[in-house]
């Protein structure tokens, strides 16, 4: 049975710089019943993603901006509570872009039934969801990784970065992760099997990379941009590939810092290429099969940071990403 009320987080106004509490509106509206060909669901897990910051800006991007007054866009896992849709039954767990709200009604477009026997539902928002797909296709397709190469990844203790490093290890590569703080660096080397880690808060990243990767970086997978990207550009091997996955250090600024060491691309005959994971949607099953296999074999560990709360906790949970307070995929479990 549907609860009578649906708590939602809507965009109240466009943030300038960091997102503040006044940029959100907390709303309660009646929960809708599903019409013909639709199902209703209760949100169990909400995904928190750095990309959300970009979705709030009114500028051209790979998705339209979230409109003022609209429910905030978010990936989530919902449990079907009522169904008039032949593809979804009561009790099914379904992943999709259902937004920051307690109850959803969907026509099933873009919704994927998940199998909780394979992994915890939250993992379908992380290692087996968009971040896992991002790591897989970014590294293997855009980065064209070859066995025996040296990979450096920034944001290495995060959802995407932790998968990038472990996929590279599974492919027989040497991996150095860059992350904030000694604790996160210890997770990378002691728990995830990275060969080395650099704490960017502790000192000079460029110097550390020169010592750890004297023959240069073959694939640099960039999640953060800014000064760390510049340090990595200064340490490329010949024919290196720089994968532009994200630039979280620049998301809250209106004055984006571009790379100044870009001529290293010329000297090293290297290339730098961006990508958006959604373009790989037709191949997600292929990646999920291989990632699922590595997870089942224990070659890839799933790193998740699960916060338990309500949809009202969404704004402050999102901020954790920009403060480096998460280790692994950040998820809000609704209790």
Q: Which residues sit at the interface with ligand NAP, rule CB under 6 A?
A: 49-51, 130-131, 134, 155, 157-161, 179-181, 184, 223-224, 245-249, 275-277, 321-322, 324, 326, 330
**Nearest-approach distance from CB 38 to ligand NAP, in angstroms:** 28
Nearest-approach distance from CB 148 to ligand NAP, in angstroms? 26
In the chain, the DSSP E strands lie at: 5-11, 24-30, 39-47, 76-83, 93-96, 103-106, 112-114, 150-154, 174-179, 196-199, 217-222, 236-244, 271-274, 304-309, 329-334
Instruction: Tell me how far, at minimum, the Cβ of 249 lies from ligand NAP, in Å.
Output: 3
Q: What angle do CA 193, 279, 80 make, to 5 degrees?
A: 85
* Residues 6+ away with beta carbon under 8 Å from 217: 150, 151, 152, 209, 232, 235, 236, 237, 240
Q: Hey, what are 139's tokens? A: 């590294």
106/326 with CB nearer ligand NAP: 326
Tokens at residue 18, please?
Answer: 């960091």
CA 151 to CA 98: how far, in whole Å?
Answer: 35
Q: Return the H-helix or E-strand segment holding 285.
A: helix 284-296
Q: Are 285 and 293 in contact (CB under 8 A)?
A: no
* Nearest approach, Cβ of residue 55 and ligand NAP (Å): 11
- Of 51 and 104, which CB lies nearer to ligand NAP in the complex structure? 51
> Minimum distance from CB of 115 to ligand NAP (Å)?
23
- Which residue lies nearer to ligand NAP by CB, 96 or 180? 180
- Cβ closer to ligand NAP: 6 or 162? 162
The answer to whether residues 51 and 293 touch, using CB atoms and an 8 Å cutoff, is: no
CB of 328 to ligand NAP, least distance (A): 7
The encoded tokens of residue 253 equal 């600024």
């Amino acid at each position: 049975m549907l609860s009578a009320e649906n708590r939602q987080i809507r965009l109240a106004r466009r943030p300038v710089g960091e997102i503040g509490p006044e940029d959100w509106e907390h709303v309660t509206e009646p929960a809708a019943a599903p019409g013909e060909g639709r199902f209703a669901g209760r949100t169990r897990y909400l995904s928190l993603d750095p990309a959300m910051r970009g979705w709030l800006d009114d500028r051209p991007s790979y998705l339209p901006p979230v409109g003022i007054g609209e429910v905030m866009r978010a990936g989530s896992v919902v449990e079907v509570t009522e169904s008039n849709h032949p593809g979804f039954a009561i009790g099914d767990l379904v992943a999709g872009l259902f937004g920051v709200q307690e109850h959803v009604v969907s026509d099933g477009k873009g919704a994927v039934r998940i199998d909780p026997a394979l992994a915890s539902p939250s993992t379908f928002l992380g290692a087996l969801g968009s971040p896992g797909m991002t790591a897989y296709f970014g590294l293997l397709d855009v980065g064209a990784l070859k066995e025996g190469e040296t990979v450096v990844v920034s944001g290495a203790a995060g959802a995407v970065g932790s998968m990038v490093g472990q996929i590279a290890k599974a492919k027989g590569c040497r991996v150095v992760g860059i992350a904030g703080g000694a604790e996160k660096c210890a997770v990378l080397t002691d728990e995830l099997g990275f060969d080395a880690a650099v704490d960017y808060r502790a000192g000079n990243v460029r110097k550390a990379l020169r010592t750890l990767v004297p023959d240069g970086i073959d694939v640099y997978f960039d999640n953060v941009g800014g000064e760390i990207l510049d340090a990595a550009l200064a340490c490329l091997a010949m024919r290196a590939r720089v994968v532009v996955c994200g630039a979280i250090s620049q998301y809250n600024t209106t004055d984006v810092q571009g790379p100044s060491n870009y001529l290293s691309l010329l000297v090293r005959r290297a290339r730098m290429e961006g990508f958006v994971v959604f373009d790989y949607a037709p191949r997600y099953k292929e990646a999920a099969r291989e990632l699922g296999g590595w997870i089942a074999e224990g070659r890839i560990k799933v790193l998740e940071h699960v916060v338990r709360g309500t949809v009202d906790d969404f704004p402050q949970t999102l901020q954790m990403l920009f403060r480096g307070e998460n280790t692994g995929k950040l998820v809000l479990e609704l209790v």
